[in-house]
Amino acid sequence: MKFIDEYRDAQAARQYSDSLRRVTTKPWTIMEVCGGQTHSIVKFGIDELLPPAITLVHGPGCPVCVTSLELVEKAIEIASTPDVIFCSFGDMLRVPGISRDLLSVKATGGDVRIVYSPLDALKIAEENPAREVVFFAVGFETTAPANAMAVYQAAQKDIHNFSLLVSHVLVPPAMEAILSSPENRVQGFLAAGHVCAVMGFWEYEPIAAKYHVPIVVTGFEPVDILQGIYMCIRQLEGGRAEVENQYSRSVSKAGNLPAQKLIGEIFRVVPRKWRGVGEIPQSGLGLQEKYSRFDAEARFGLVHFTADEPAECISGLVLQGIKKPYECTAFVVRCTPEHPMGATMVSSEGACAAYYHYRKKS
């Protein structure tokens, strides 16, 4: 497949690997922000091709992982309501709530449907005017334009039985939270290429400057990731801290302007609680007041409550790159993909699941 296979070329990968060995003279710790990048690294065994001096830590780039326990519980509540059609991306179906997940709601008779696109959920709403249709709008900035369009089209078409349960999170505030933590060991970042395809990378320049960390916008295929790491290491070895763009075939500095415009029309920045991490100010998106009729939380009158994560679960520390999955006392022993304790084990992108599936069990 064009624009995929070339970036999985073994020779190019080996050349980048050799180049990395040549230019790395000191130990460095780099974080890849996006769960899709984590998935690729573990699936292709990319870390095997890195010199031992480079440590990769896996960041909180999995919207499934960071969706708060409260929101998962609200999703379960709504999906269990009679006559509701609850639509979601497949990723969310196995994320554990307090005692259940959306898949078990489906198993006990809830009408939970997997969709590929938010517009599919809108179509279901149009085809079922007598029923409430709710879409679980999860994602980073990459998915925001799609979710915004679903609301925009719903408003244009005057649809009354459609709403969104919004769980959008933003990358730059998460990066700042990691960098400003006293326990931070991350010295360089691979920024999420597809988030930047939408938002551009101008937002990262102040972060690179303030914390003196190189940030390289990176793609998802093995050769992209290796080049991104190479560019980051070159900066670190040279004492530079700039924003560079490895993924230039899909990302420009300004980003996608029509997408940003519609995001701004439909959504506004709000504080958001990240599962296992806590509340990060200005780190999420919520619906603008004029579109509040599409807000499922309001429509279903959901009560605020807080819930405690299982004490043993360190998914928050794994998400921030402070611990690796195998440092968790429950890893493999009590926490497995069949019986997950935290979202990082459930999501196919979660660092814990990635380690579980692709690593030898120790």
Partner 1 sequence: MASESKNGNAFICPIPIEQYPNVLLAHGGGGKLTHQLIEKMFLPAFGNSILGARHDGALLHLPSQQLAFTTDSYVIRPLFFPGGDIGSLAINGTVNDLAMCGARPLFLSAGFILEEGLPMDTLWRVVQSMKLAAEQAGVQIVTGDTKVVDRGKGDGIFINTAGIGVVEARQAISPANVRPGDAIVLSGDIGRHGIAIMAVREGLEFESTIESDCAALSGIVLDLIGAGIELHCLRDLTRGGLASALIEIAESSCLHFEIEENTIPMLEDVKGACEILGFDPLYVANEGRFISFVPARDVDRTLARMRAHPLGAQSCIIGTAKEGDPGLVTMRSRIGATRVVDMLSGEQLPRIC
Partner 2 sequence: MCLAVPGKIMSIDGTDPVFRTGKVSFGGIVKQVNLAYVPEAKIDDYVLVHVGFAISIVDEAEAQEVFEYLRQIGELAELEENSIQ
User: Which residues, in sequence order, are CB contacts of 332 under 8 Å at separation 6+?
Assistant: 356, 361, 362
83 binds partner 1 (CB under 8 A): no
149 binds partner 2 (CB under 8 A): yes
Phi and psi at residue 361, to the nearest 5°: -80, 130
Q: Residue 319 belongs to what H/E stretch? A: helix 315-319
Interface residue with partner 2, options 43, 212, 240, 249 (CB under 8 A): 249
Interatomic CA distance for residues 46 and 182, integer angstroms: 29
Q: Residue 209 belongs to what H/E stretch? A: helix 205-211
Interface residue with partner 1, options 274, 348, 351, 352 (CB under 8 A): 348
Interatomic CA distance for residues 198 and 195, integer angstroms: 6
Interface residue with partner 2, options 24, 88, 227, 344 (CB under 8 A): 227
Phi and psi at residue 269, to the nearest 5°: -75, 135
Handedness of CA 338, 344, 350, 355 (dihedral sign): negative
- Nearest CB to partner 2, comparing residues 144 and 318: 144
- Write the DSSP symbol of residue 309: P
- Nearest CB to partner 1, comparing residues 62 and 191: 62
35 binds partner 1 (CB under 8 A): yes
44 binds, among partner 1, partner 2, none (CB under 5 to 8 A by kind): partner 1
Least gap, CB of 122 to partner 2 (angstroms): 11
90 binds partner 1 (CB under 8 A): yes
- Nearest CB to partner 1, comparing residues 8 and 253: 8
Least gap, CB of 157 to partner 2 (angstroms): 10
Q: Which stretch binds partner 2 (CB under 8 A): 42-50, 258-266, 319-327, 337-345?
A: 258-266
Tokens of 228: 């991104």
SS3 at position 55? strand
94 binds partner 1 (CB under 8 A): yes
Interface residue with partner 1, options 69, 349, 351, 352 (CB under 8 A): 349
Q: 254, 202 in Cβ contact below 8 A?
A: yes
Q: Residue 56 belongs to what H/E stretch? A: strand 54-61
Q: Which stretch binds partner 1 (CB under 8 A): 104-112, 135-143, 246-254, 269-277?
A: 135-143
- Nearest CB to partner 1, comparing residues 243 and 343: 343
179 binds partner 1 (CB under 8 A): no
Tokens of 34: 């996006």
CB neighbour burial string for 261-278, b if at least 16 within 10 angstroms, e if fewer: ebbeebbeeeebbbbbbe
Per this entry, what is the length of the chain? 362
One character per residue 306-345, x = contact with partner 2 (rule: CB under 8 A): ----------------------------------------
Tokens of 186: 């991350």
Indicate the pairing of strand 84-88 with strand 28-34: unpaired
Interatomic CA distance for residues 263 and 1, integer angstroms: 31
Tokens of 275: 């599962």
54 binds partner 2 (CB under 8 A): no
305 binds partner 1 (CB under 8 A): no
- Nearest CB to partner 2, comparing residues 63 and 172: 63
Interface residue with partner 2, options 251, 318, 335, 341 (CB under 8 A): 251
Phi and psi at residue 294, to the nearest 5°: -100, 10
Residues that bind partner 2 (CB under 8 A): 1-4, 6-7, 12, 15-16, 19, 22, 34-37, 39, 61-63, 89, 116-120, 139-140, 142-143, 145-146, 149, 152-153, 156, 192, 194-195, 197-198, 220, 223-224, 227, 230, 246, 248-251, 256, 258-259, 262, 349
Residues contributing to the site for partner 1 (CB under 8 A) = 1, 4, 8-10, 13-14, 35-36, 42-46, 48-49, 62-64, 87, 89-91, 93-94, 103, 113-116, 120, 124, 138-139, 143, 222, 336-338, 347-349, 356-360
